[in-house]
Amino acid sequence: MRKKAKTSGKAPTGDDLRPEYSFDYRKAKPNRFAAEALKGSFVVLVDEDIAKVFQTPESIKNVLRALIASMPPRKSPKPTARRARS
């Protein structure tokens, strides 16, 4: 037979936060998303109306890549002669 957990008899207050938490950093694991963030990715928050149309990150990426492909190529700026300061 299983033993029942003892309850304190107090009604829940709705506040489950402790005044202080102790965290054992020796048991911490590395962030599995850190490598992806270092690759040059960044987060963009889209408005609700856009999120309704593009519901996955892949759909947004596909549209942006299609837009980039349709844009005229950028011309590199011509080097300008620097004036000597006196």
Give residue 54's Cα distance to chain centre. Answer: 17
Cα 46-51-54 angle, rounded to 5 deg: 115
Per-residue pLDDT, 82? 65
Its pTM stands at 0.42
Name the residue ranges covered by the structural domains of the chain.
45-71
Q: Is the pLDDT at 49 greater than 90, yes or no?
A: yes
CA distance 63 to 55: 12
User: What value does the mean pLDDT take over residues 42-50?
Assistant: 89
CA distance linking residue 36 with residue 46, whole number of Å: 20
Tallying the residues shown for the chain, one arrives at 86
